[in-house]
Amino acid sequence: MNKTMFFLGSLAYVALPIMYAKSIGLFAAVMFFSIILTIQKSNNLDTWLFKLYIWSFAFFGVSIGGLKLSDVVLIVSCMLLIMRKGKLVVNSKMLLIIPFFLYLFLQMGYFYLARDSYLSNMLLELSRYALALLTGLFFYQLRVNRGSLIKWLDKFCGLVSLQALVMYLVQTKTTITNVDSGRLLAVSVFSDTTESRISAFFSDPNKMMAFFLLVLVIRILIEFKDKRAFTWHWQYWLYLLGALISLSRTSVIVVAMFLLFYVFYEKVFKKEHLLGTSVMLLLLVVFAAVGLLFKTTFVSAINDVFDGVLALFGRDRTLTIDSNVTSDSRVLVWRSALSYIEQRPILGNGLASELHLLPIPTHNSVVQLLLDTGIVGLVLYTIGIFNGVIKRVPGWVVVSLVVIPMFFLDLANFRLIFVMWSLAMKNDRFEKGEI
């Protein structure tokens, strides 16, 4: 019976793009129906709430009353947990993130006293960081059934990929438009007639790519207590292929590096990771030296690779305007951002400073943190977020699935980063069949 219900819910979930093309009312009704069947009732409320949040996050472009659906689910779930448990508990290691948030508040106070005209933008960005922190605290409270949750994550990520492909097919047949944000239920979907991109209900293909990559890290955190216990599972391909169908150049880099690192660290240097890292660093130095010596040829080769990827993905518009790495819009905005970082390198220019300093977002978490919070903020953030993660997950996994994407996307307050952070702190609560 449960399998039949999940199958029916899966069909409803995958068909949501078709329902959305028909009417917003039909979309809302089928979406609710798919929740009931794909996230079936569980004896473990924590496991159910975990699934519900991940499910809602796959509707990144859906908002209710001006709040993202996932944030609405988060707030309601936190209220349920507090009512049931009476309090929120924290791990002492989680306190390492407090200096970063304290710094944000102090910085905000400084700009308030200075009567900065962009204070409203800063407050909005600070609220996003606050919600991200709340997300991390919420997930730390959950005691979930590891086995059933891992199986569900694998199935669900497969469904997200299928739904994304259905959305793409629907968009080739009809025009999909956004639902006005003035309504109670608002939907923002990626729609660009000039090139092919696949994004389901994420509103941004890159956000869908980040979803798959970070949920894979979350799966690894749930499954393994110790990074030395890491083993490959065929289900990882569901997440990697999900990232690739976003048709993002970054996804190609990330997946290629993940597979390369896997062979390098888990096959060639399986018991000698330190030696493997030394060899990898040496190869990077040689690679960089060759690039500097033969700069023109090197850049041309990179351009040819990216052009080939863009042509393969059918991204004609990007192939026209961003086919050269030296004149790519991201590279240009990074250069512009660095000029402002040089003016205030230690303390930064305040949260959301790109809105009044740059023509477009930085698409780079490191550059964004430096621009907004300076070296101080970047160091505090790095220590707070990655200190626990690097102890629980192999370093090569963190670099390929988290760090590299952060150099091409704005992910500093991306909620799943904080889910990853909180799960990494659960080492002392890792028990058989439960985390």
What band does 293 get if pLDDT is binned at 50, 70 and 90? confident
Half-sphere exposure of 281 (CA within 13 A, CB side): 6
Q: Is the pLDDT of residue 435 over 70?
A: no
pLDDT band at 320, cuts 50/70/90?
low
Instruction: State the average pLDDT over residues 183-210.
Output: 83
pLDDT in the model for residue 431: 47
Q: Tell me: pLDDT of 172 over 80.
A: yes
Q: What pLDDT score does 69 carry?
A: 93
**CA distances for 219 relative to 213, 333, 412, angstroms:** 10, 34, 20
> Percent of the chain at pLDDT above 70?
88
> Is the pLDDT at 59 greater than 90, yes or no?
yes
Residues in the chain: 435
Q: Is pLDDT above 80 for 43?
A: no
Stronger pLDDT, 277 or 358, i.e. the higher one: 358
- pLDDT (mean) for 38-49: 79
Residues of the chain by 3-state class (helix, strand, coil), percent to 5: 70, 5, 25
Which amino acid, one-letter code, is at 317? R
Q: What is the pLDDT of residue 312?
A: 59
